[in-house]
Amino acid sequence: MSYLGLDLGATNVKGALVDDEGRVLAHASEPLGDGAATLAPAAVAEVLARVAQSCVRDWAAVRAVGVGAPGAIEGEVITGCANLFRDSQFPVPLAALVAARLHGKRVILVNDADAAALAERWVGAARGFERAAVLTLGTGVGCGLFLGGDVPLRNVEAGHASVGGPDGRQCSCGARGCLEAYAAAPAIVRAYGDDSVTCRDVVARAASDDRAARAVDGAARYLAVGCLDLCRTLDVGAVVLTGGVARAGPPFLDRVRRHAREMDWTCLPCRAGRVVLGSVAHAGCVGAARAALNEAPRRRRLPLGYFVLALAVGLVAAARVRTVV
């Protein structure tokens, strides 16, 4: 069987058909187009369905569909989202809207940060650790935290852990000093001081532009604080960095590790090596597929004893028939 994972972003939709071991069998994507933030839910569901149809040839082999979406999710609806459905009324029943366009397949909604975390836990850098944290560094900072299980703990907001203290930078959540106010992509662009460039540009310039290097290094430093806090308070074996900022690659990871080494304790083994990069391609889709796998009803298998009993009853019945004849 296979699972379809769809990743609804602020500007585009990606999809991947995934087998039950996490391997990507097919993938597709489509931009949401102009005015993506104000598109109606039905219009977004249409794009999701088109991407789904591009990925799937045989719907009979698809057990369930997962949709990773930004914002707050309760069951099958989105209860709030800063980047999408700005002109729409919440809750948005996205699972039902997509299911109606996909042969009535079961559709499971999952927060996009949780989806990325599920992917890294399933087939990526968080696999094999009893305790692991996955930080998604993008427009915000999300966290999937695994403490002895394969499903992220609910309501963990490590992106809003205070790393800057009560007088730290203002965060969009209303508090001060949150990790997100330093390490999210918009924070890095703000620190650079030029809104006309993307975070990716700033990171790319860091090798040759001192101002860009300072902006990126500042983010890496506060991120190192957050990573060390996760290691110390929860003893996670890995802090996996994923998302757009982390995809700036090894140079960004090296900066985070260097700061972690400088700030780590000196009387115990250093934990900077626990900070690693995510390794799953199409992580949002693969994780959404994993959410579908977790939730999809499995076919109940009868215990072997039933078959043995049925066989015994059949043999006895056959013997009686023969005796009567």
Binding site for Zn ion (CB under 5 A): 160, 171, 173, 175, 178
Q: Which is nearer to Zn ion, 151 or 175 (CB)?
A: 175
Based on CB atoms, which residue is closest to Zn ion, 173 or 317?
173
Q: Where are the alpha helices (DSSP H) in the chain?
A: 41-55, 94-99, 112-123, 180-183, 185-192, 199-205, 210-234, 250-263, 283-295, 304-324
Give least dist CB 162 to Zn ion, A. Answer: 8
**Which residues have CB under 8 Å from 262's CB, separation 6+?**
none
Angle of helix 283-295 versus helix 112-123 axis, rounded to 10: 90
Identify the sign of the CA torsion 43, 45, 50, 54: positive
Q: Are 185 and 199 in contact (CB under 8 A)?
A: yes
In degrees and rounded to multiples of 5, residue 149 shows phi and psi of -140, 175
Cα–Cα dist 202/207, whole Å: 10
Instruction: Give the nearer residue to Zn ion in terms of CB position, either 122 or 182.
Output: 182
Our CB check for Zn ion shows the closer of 17 and 185 to be: 185
User: Is the bond preceding residue 91 a cis peptide, omega within 30 degrees?
Assistant: yes
Q: Work out how close the CB of 171 gets to Zn ion at its nearest, in angstroms, rounded to a whole number.
A: 3
Helix, strand, coil fractions of the chain, as percent rounded to 5: 45, 20, 35
Nearer to Zn ion, 173 or 308 (CB): 173
Beta carbon of residue 143, minimum distance to Zn ion (angstroms, whole number): 12
Distance of alpha carbon 5 from its chain centroid, rounded? 11
Nearer to Zn ion, 52 or 187 (CB): 187
Rounded least distance, CB 134 to Zn ion, Å? 18
* Nearest alpha carbon to residue 236 among 84, 132, 90: 132
CB of 82 to Zn ion, least distance (A): 13
- Least distance in angstroms from the C-beta of 203 to Zn ion: 22
Give whichever of 82 and 175 is closer to Zn ion, judged by the CB atom: 175
Phi, psi (deg, nearest 5) at residue 151: -120, 130
Residue closer to Zn ion (CB basis): 178 or 276: 178
Rounded distance between C-alpha atoms, residue 213 and residue 274, angstroms: 24
Torsion angle of C-alpha atoms 282, 288, 292, 293, degrees rounded to 10:
50
- Find all residues with CB under 8 Å of 45, minimum gap 6, and list them: 94, 97, 98, 100, 101
**Nearest distance from residue 180's CB to Zn ion, in Å?**
5
Closest to Zn ion by CB, 132 vs 171, is 171
Q: How far is the CB of 226 from Zn ion (least distance, A)?
A: 12
Q: How far is the CB of 220 from Zn ion (least distance, A)?
A: 19
